[in-house]
Amino acid sequence: MSTQKVQIVEKILDANDQLANQILKKLNDAEIFAINIMASPGSGKTSVILKTIEKLKGEMNIAVIEGDTAAVTIDADKVTALGMPAVQINTGGQCHLDAVLMEQGVDALDLSDIDLLIVENVGNLICPASFKIGTHSNVVVASVPEGDDKPYKYTNIYRGIDVLLLNKTDLLPYIDFRLDYFKDGIHALNQNLKFFEVSCKTGEGIEDWIDWLREKVKAQKNHR
């Protein structure tokens, strides 16, 4: 029997992308600004989130979706302790959040009362870059101890993001970290990237990041 060729040309992650677009629409309808925070384990994602909540909790309502590979609620508990709603998503070992998991998280929240939604993706610099989850901005938290060569090795994630926070800058005097080399790497494939140097420990640089967020949340309200 002879075979016949059927031309398809369909994006393999199209179903995920479509669902991500629906989620984005849902968030827009509720006038929520949402960010997807990605990083390697230990870079300080949770510290950045907690610091952000501390700074903004008097002026807006923030919710957090925590993506974790196992049913560990340490991070979600810290957010709840600050009086903000947190939803824990257990990816069951999966290395990233995808739109299906994100939708579960979004549906578990009361969207009518949220201004800023922070999604903490699974600690991983490779897989989360491939999956849209329907947020407005992709943010990476890098940290000084990880080394200055990471943008050269993990080009995928640095290419697709809007904001980069370089955390733990208080350690710069003790570590061979060439800031210029790092900056060249992050801006190489992503000239429009917003870059913030922060230290969650000393609080240095955090205000600039908070100002950026404040602007974005405000713009999302005026947008409609």
Partner 1 sequence: MHELAVTESILKIAEKHAVQSQAKKVTDVHIVIGRLSSIVNDSIQFYWDIISKNTLCENAKLHFERVPAKVLCLNCSFEFELPGELTPCPKCQSMRLKVIKGEEFWLDSIEIER
Provide the binding-site residues for partner 1, judged by CB under 8 A. Answer: 1-16, 94-96, 98, 124, 126-127, 129-131, 151-153, 155-156, 159, 184-185, 187-189, 191
In the bound complex, what is the minimum distance in angstroms from residue 118's beta carbon to partner 1?
A: 23
**Token pair belonging to 173:** 């005097």
In the bound complex, what is the minimum distance in angstroms from residue 5's beta carbon to partner 1?
A: 5
Q: Provide the pairing of β-strand 137-143 with 62-68.
A: unpaired
CA dihedral angle for residue 125, residue 129, residue 134, residue 135, rounded to 10 degrees: 50
**Closer CB to partner 1, residue 134 or residue 151?**
151
**Token pair belonging to 135:** 């947020």
Half-sphere exposure of 63 (CA within 13 A, CB side): 21
**Closer CB to partner 1, residue 33 or residue 182?**
182
In the bound complex, what is the minimum distance in angstroms from residue 69's beta carbon to partner 1?
A: 10
**Closer CB to partner 1, residue 110 or residue 184?**
184
**Closer CB to partner 1, residue 9 or residue 71?**
9
In the bound complex, what is the minimum distance in angstroms from residue 154's beta carbon to partner 1?
A: 9
Show the 3-state SS of 94-145.
CCCCCHHHHHHHHHCCCHHHCCEEEEECCCCCCHHHHCCCCCCEEEEEEEHH
In the bound complex, what is the minimum distance in angstroms from residue 191's beta carbon to partner 1?
A: 6
**Closer CB to partner 1, residue 126 or residue 175?**
126
In 3D space, the residue among 166, 159, 168 whose CA is nearest the CA of residue 187 turns out to be 159
